[in-house]
Structure 1
Amino acid sequence: MSANTQHQFPVLAELVAGSSFDRMAMKLLLVVAGSAALTLSAKTNVPFFPVPMTLQTLVVLLLGAAYGPRLAAATVLVYLAQGAAGLPVLAGTPERGIGLAYMVGPTGGFLAGFIIAAALTGALARFGWTASVGRATVTMTAGTVALYVPGLLWLGFFADWDKALELGLMPFVYGDMLKLAVAAIAAPVTWHILHRIR
Structure 2
Amino acid sequence: MTTSNTLLGALAPKGEAAKLATNIVTVLLGTLLLTLSAKISVPVWPVPVTMQTFAVAALAAAFGWRIGVATVLAYLVEGASGLPVFASGGGLAYFAGPTTGFLLGYLPMAYIIGRATDLGASNRPFTLFGAMLLGDAVLFVCGFVWLMAMAGHASWIDQANVVGSAFAKAVQPFIIWDILKMGLAALTVTGAWALLKPKR
Q: TM-score normalized by structure 1?
A: 0.86
Q: Deviations over 1:80-106 (max 9, x none)?
A: 00100111100122xxxx311112322
**Structure 2 counterpart of 1:43:** 39
Where in structure 2 are there 5+ consecutive unaligned residues? 152-161
Q: Deviations over 1:8-50 (max 9, x none)?
A: x520111222425872111110001100000000001369xxx
**Structure 2 counterpart of 1:16:** 11
1:146 aligns with 2:138: yes
Where in structure 1 are there 5+ consecutive unaligned residues? none
**Structure 1 counterpart of 2:157:** none
Shift of 1:151: 0.8
Do 1:110 and 1:147's aligned partners in 2 also have CA atoms closer than 8 Å? yes
Q: Deviations over 1:153-185 (max 9, x none)?
A: 111112222122112111112211110110121
Aligned equivalents of 2:168 and 2:38: distance in 1? Answer: 22
Shift of 1:129: 2.1
**Structure 1 counterpart of 2:77:** 81
**% same residue:** 39
Do 1:130 and 1:139's aligned partners in 2 also have CA atoms closer than 8 Å? no
1:100 aligns with 2:92: yes
Aligned equivalents of 1:150 and 1:126: distance in 2? Answer: 24
**Structure 2 counterpart of 1:187:** 189
Closer, same or farther in 2 for the Cα pair 1:185/1:126, shift >3 Å? same
Aligned equivalents of 2:15 and 2:75: distance in 1? Answer: 23
SS, match of residue 148 in structure 1: helix
Residues matched between the structures, number: 186
Counterpart of 1:170, as a letter, is Q
SS, match of residue 90 in structure 1: coil
Counterpart of 1:26, as a letter, is T
Counterpart of 2:33, as a letter, is A
Q: Which runs of 4+ in 1 moved over 3 A?
A: none
SS, match of residue 88 in structure 1: coil
- Per mean C-alpha deviation after superposition, the further-off stretch among 34-43 and 169-178 is 169-178
RMSD, aligned α-carbons:
2.2
1:155 aligns with 2:147: yes
Shift of 1:62: 0.8
**Structure 2 counterpart of 1:63:** 59
Shift of 1:65: 0.6
SS, match of residue 87 in structure 1: coil
- Per mean C-alpha deviation after superposition, the further-off stretch among 31-40 and 166-175 is 166-175
